[in-house]
Structure 1
Amino acid sequence: MVVVAWLGLHAIRYWINNQTPPFQALGAEMAIVLVSQAMVFQWVGLYKGLWRFASLPDLWNIIKAGIGGVILASVALFAYNRLNGVSRAVLLLYPFVLGALLGTPRLLYRIWKDRLTHMRLQPQATRVLILGAGESGEACARDLLRSGTYHPVGFLDDSPALKNSRLLGFPVLGRFEDAALMAKQTAAELLVIALPNVGAEEMQRVIGICERSGVAFRMLPKLEDVLSGRALPGELKQVDIDDLLGRDPVVPNWKAIREWLVGRCVLVTGAGGSIGSELCRQCARHGATQILLVEIDELSLMRIEAELRRDFPTLAVVSVLGDCGDAAVMRHAFKQCVPDAVFHAAAYKQVPVLETQLREAVRNNALATHVVAEESDRVGVATFILISTDKAVDPVNVLGASKRFAEMICQSKAAESHTHFITVRFGNVLDSAGSVVPLFREQIRTGGPVTVTDPEVTRYFMTIPEACILILQAAAIGAHDSIYTLDMGEPVSIRTLAEQLIRLAGKQPGKDIAITYTGLRPGEKLHETLFHSEESYKPTSHNKILQAVARELDPALVNAMATSLRTASDAYDLDALNDLLRASVPEFEPGNADGEADNQVIIKFPSRKNRR
């Protein structure tokens, strides 16, 4: 093609001037041009391109190669014969003619291969209507065509400029709101949402449209899910409940997290739990060199240890099977390595269970925190992170009261230690063990009914990765003796959550699956809060993380209460434990008959601009 472009342009130039082209004289020049152009082709990687996937970037690469080639050839020809006999018009037109000669066969080859792909569609291929006619929609259509089992029938998009246009030969049939009508007209059997980068509110709207259409629907995974291994490229995944939270996901400052984590040794208690295991993965993924796993459940410990050794072969993993509330266990763990940071994730968290298991709640949630904090302080751990809960704010149940006392223990330790004691609070975690979402899914799987405690009950929700990002980000911010929480947007109605899960399963609430209301369980609130009314809070360097100023307390009194609680726990004296817990956490007011505290104060996040 280089020969055709160079000699052809010269032939046209001489023909216009009614002259005979001196092809013999052009031979030496041609050799210089060929060598120069070949060197540029090699440099830009043109010989490595796959014609099957030729696209506009490849065409631009060819144009650049032509421009680079003519520049190099001009320099060489100038050195050879001062460009004697070389037409300036040929030099100007050559890159574009060469681009056309090289690009056209590639594009024709790709069109031919794409046509073969269309012809290979199986007769029973599922007819698909794609929502989103952007780059993701185009890539999705190509992937569906290559699979042979799906047949795109068109696109929907809200952009007025795309109406009546065509993409890959398929029409843009209308707006998202037309999904039900267009699915009927095209006999589409599946809707695919190809909008991986839209905000949560827009995603909720699109999913609502798909639900109302009555057609099955799937969506493309987000880029971060693909990169983290939670989804495969091109995979069509079911819409997850976290896609419906109505809140944009937390975007972490990975640079700050990595700078804090790289080269560190960390210890995680409750390492086999939902939060603990994800913390281990995140720490390993972002630079920790050694992780100490402390876990009381042998199966959970074995599972997370095997996963870390498989996925991070260079990571040093040390496992300790035992109760972190046992000082001997923690002393043994710290002999393996003095960690730079301790993540204390071990806790009991089921509200109704702990209402009848006071001793274990106090022992595992509060006294174990006291043990881990003391041992961390004794060996000189740099940072201690307590993973707390929104139920510790104005607690009306044993879980909240025990976790609030754990917060007080960390605050009292911070007053007399060089260790940075940090508390991280968040609301309910989607899909964590024992949470409401797995329960609802199981009830839907068995045909219902789905049981909701109260039609008005609301909760703050976040995903497991988000919770762990919050923990790591708070640790990286690292202010001494601080309480951090996530700006979690508006609380989610549990009734709405149940209805959405039923629809995601392809059924209709109240028709296919019944919803029954059982009443608030012992110790449950209608609404949770993330800050106490006496805690002032302010923004941090991360726009989704808020910092509360801890309330004043007497460290000596907290330590004395911890000693008394331990004595009552050792004696299994439930009456004494109850009295001591009430005295230790003055704001602890067990719920009334309806499960709601009489003195509850509900605090909602102000808008960012109104925060102090």
Structure 2
Amino acid sequence: MPMQAVPMHTVTRRLVMILWDCGSWLAATAMIVGTRYEFYLTDPQWTSIYLYGAAACALQVVSGTALKLYRGRYRVGAFDEAIGLAASTLWVAILLGLGMLVVRGFDAFPRGLALLVPPMALLFMAAGRWLYRAWNVRARHSSPDAENALIYGAGDAGYQLLRLIKVDSSSPYRVVGLIDDDKRKRNLTLLGVPVLGGRKKLVKIAHDNDVTTVILAISSASTEMVRDIADLVEQGGMRFLLLPPVAQILGGRVKLSDVREIDIADILGRRQVETDIESIADYLTGKRVLVTGAGGSIGSELARQVHKFGPSELILLDRDESALHGVQLSIYGKGLLDTPDMVLADIRDREALRPIFERHRPEVVFHAAALKHLPMLEQYPEEGWKTNVLGTLNVLELAAEYGVRQFVNISTDKAANPTSVLGKTKRIAEQLTAWHGRRCEGTYLSVRFGNVLGSRGSMLHTFRQQINMGGPITVTHPEITRYFMTIPEASELVIQAAAIGRDAEVLVLDMGEPVKILDVAKRLITHSGKDIEIVFTGLRPNEKMHEELFSVDEDGTRPFHPLISHVTVSPVAPDQIYHLAPHAAADSSTPPERAFDGFR
């Protein structure tokens, strides 16, 4: 492959840099000689100084080239370049010092110069680069179509973002000022952009400077802070953008493309679960892993996260072929559905599941397949029974038969003190899992969490579609609350569960404070900029006003993780569940009043 020619302007810039560095050594030598000796030196001393200057220039070129200072390795004026420049100067100083001991021309050289000149030369070389960078940044002009913007936060993240906007002439933003609540930064100026004030003056500052966009760039911003600033900005008629925490940005380096619209997850978000990567890798890497319900929101994210840990085989099972196509495409970049690890089957069909377990013999099972829509299951409780109870039992019994080492059943907070068909079927699934956990080899447990933001068919999808249609948004009750978490967080908890959970337990994530559904609806309406009506429809049959994470007889402990509680549920044997089935009324041995016991 032929080497690409270096552009002429780059060659010129590098030659200028070499000349500047050589001049820095000469200027530093002259300055020290003038200030220390007032240029009163003997001829032999002048000869040695001329030799010193020539040698310094030559060695600087050699060492700078070796360290790639003149070959485009560093951005001019960057911190990394300063380290390289210091290393180059140190090598030159050491070599010159050794030269004084062996080269005859240095006999009369004033020894004090050997210590004083290198630091001064480094200062001159660095100053030239920093001046060039400052001039270059100031000389760049924003696009004529750029929006006037304020950056909220004058810390490290704000500085990185400001620098990116400054150096990118095509940036859609023109930063006219910084906002920061730290009074110590009131007189601060970053790259020529001043801190104009704090939160209380934000709207006035924005209007005085014709600002249309405010970008929050504080890596440690809490949910409450994001919510308060978003309210302030949007009520002031401006667009609010967000820079995610630096820890969530790939490589920890801010990019202009990281700036995004605020999402409802930013308003409702909480502390992320810290994952014990080593323990997870130990039980997933090189193992055969089966995910049921792999086409769903939780199942597909589970599959994507598990894939990162390098299982020997990842078997994805779902009854929806389109959903399987989507998850295969998201993981492998293809959607041919022509490999045996893509399994089209229904967990209700035990005979269809058996050859799958026989062929793949999974060692880890994440059971995410379920019916979850509460109002639909209230109308069709038999369907909830067939999938959430009998389907789970099928998967559990086959897992036990084929020696699965870790089994994680995915449950819901509606299983705590259940009142609905959904909650009661998932409660039975937890109890069946606990029963197998006490009798089977391996670890069998359940994970319980609340509503998942952005999952298929979730409240957010419904609200957004209603807004797109012009409204109204339907909310069951003005006081109804729910717990929320993000899809990645829910999936991370499930994966962590198999690493820290014990047999027959239910693991419950600390969901933070419950959120009013009405507040979510209002937030989405404000963010849309539309005038949307909210209509209250009333609680649906067996729907709770406020969800619970624990049943009345459950007492959670946190022995391993500060955000994960462990509870126990009473086990139920498979032969004890059938009197709970909706069709039990057809059996004359079951009293009619017990036919829907535990369902209605």
Q: Which residue of 2 aligns with 1:542?
A: 561
Q: Which residue of 2 aligns with 1:602?
A: none
Structure 1 window deviating more from structure 2 (220-229 vs 451-460): it is: 220-229
Query: Is 1:262 aligned to residue 285 of structure 2?
Result: yes
The 5-angstrom pairing of residues 597-612 of structure 1 reads none
| Structure 2 residues without counterparts, runs of 5 or longer | 1-19
**Correspondence for 2:533 among 504, 514, 533:** 514
Cα distance change, pair 358–148 in 1 and its aligned pair in 2 (3 A): closer
Distance 1:101 1:232 in 2: 31
Distance 2:55 2:227 in 1: 62
The 5-angstrom pairing of residues 8-407 of structure 1 reads 8-11=27-30, 12-13=32-33, 15-20=38-43, 22=45, 25=48, 33=56, 37=60, 40-41=63-64, 44-49=67-72, 53-75=76-98, 77-78=100-101, 84-118=107-141, 121-145=142-166, 146=168, 147-223=170-246, 225-227=248-250, 234-245=257-268, 247-310=270-333, 318-407=341-430
Distance 1:108 1:50 in 2: 19
Give 1:207's aligned amino acid: A
Query: What is the deviation of 1:215?
Result: 1.2
SS of equivalent to 2:502: coil
Note if contact 2:75-2:81 (Cα within 8 Å) is conserved in structure 1.
Answer: no
List per-residue Cα deviations over 1:282-308 (Å, max 9, x = no partner).
111233332100010010011111221
Cα distance change, pair 21–106 in 1 and its aligned pair in 2 (3 A): farther
| Structure 1 residues without counterparts, runs of 5 or longer | 591-612
**Correspondence for 2:594 among 554, 567, 579:** 579
Distance 2:105 2:340 in 1: 69
Note if contact 1:63-1:95 (Cα within 8 Å) is conserved in structure 2.
Answer: no
Give 2:564's aligned amino acid: I
Cα distance change, pair 79–348 in 1 and its aligned pair in 2 (3 A): farther
Distance 2:50 2:42 in 1: 18
Give 1:551's aligned amino acid: V
Note if contact 1:143-1:234 (Cα within 8 Å) is conserved in structure 2.
Answer: no
Cα distance change, pair 225–283 in 1 and its aligned pair in 2 (3 A): same
Q: Which residue of 2 aligns with 1:601?
A: none
Query: What is the deviation of 1:571?
Result: 8.2
SS of equivalent to 2:445: strand
Identity of aligned residues (%): 35
Distance 1:254 1:503 in 2: 39
Give 2:200's aligned amino acid: E
SS of equivalent to 2:150: strand
Cα distance change, pair 215–85 in 1 and its aligned pair in 2 (3 A): same
List per-residue Cα deviations over 1:525-552 (Å, max 9, x = no partner).
001111112112111322111111x134
Query: Is 1:420 aligned to residue 437 of structure 2?
Result: no
List per-residue Cα deviations over 1:422-462 (Å, max 9, x = no partner).
10000000010111111111112222211110011000000
Cα distance change, pair 576–99 in 1 and its aligned pair in 2 (3 A): farther
Distance 2:266 2:563 in 1: 18
Distance 2:585 2:122 in 1: 84
Q: Which residue of 2 aligns with 1:530?
A: 549
Query: What is the deviation of 1:223?
Result: 3.8
Note if contact 1:561-1:580 (Cα within 8 Å) is conserved in structure 2.
Answer: no
Note if contact 1:272-1:297 (Cα within 8 Å) is conserved in structure 2.
Answer: yes
Distance 2:596 2:493 in 1: 29
**Correspondence for 1:559 among 571, 574, 577:** 574
Query: What is the deviation of 1:496?
Result: 0.9
**Correspondence for 1:476 among 492, 499, 502:** 499
Give 2:575's aligned amino acid: A
Query: What is the deviation of 1:396?
Result: 0.6
Query: What is the deviation of 1:362?
Result: 0.5
Note if contact 2:407-2:443 (Cα within 8 Å) is conserved in structure 1.
Answer: yes
Cα distance change, pair 497–21 in 1 and its aligned pair in 2 (3 A): farther
List per-residue Cα deviations over 1:343-381 (Å, max 9, x = no partner).
000000000000011111001011111000111111111
Give 2:207's aligned amino acid: K
Give 1:218's aligned amino acid: L
List per-residue Cα deviations over 1:39-94 (Å, max 9, x = no partner).
65456553454675523443344234323432344245435569744433222223
Structure 1 window deviating more from structure 2 (422-431 vs 77-86): it is: 77-86
Q: Which residue of 2 aligns with 1:499?
A: 522
Distance 1:311 1:131 in 2: 41
Between the two proteins, the alignment pairs up a number of residues equal to 571
Note if contact 1:295-1:322 (Cα within 8 Å) is conserved in structure 2.
Answer: yes
Structure 1 window deviating more from structure 2 (29-38 vs 472-481): it is: 29-38
Distance 1:263 1:79 in 2: 62
Distance 2:255 2:324 in 1: 27
Give 2:415's aligned amino acid: A
Query: What is the deviation of 1:418?
Result: 0.4
Give 2:143's aligned amino acid: Q
Structure 1 window deviating more from structure 2 (168-177 vs 399-408): it is: 168-177
List per-residue Cα deviations over 1:159-181 (Å, max 9, x = no partner).
11111332221221110222211
TM-score normalised according to structure 2 size: 0.87
Cα distance change, pair 186–253 in 1 and its aligned pair in 2 (3 A): same
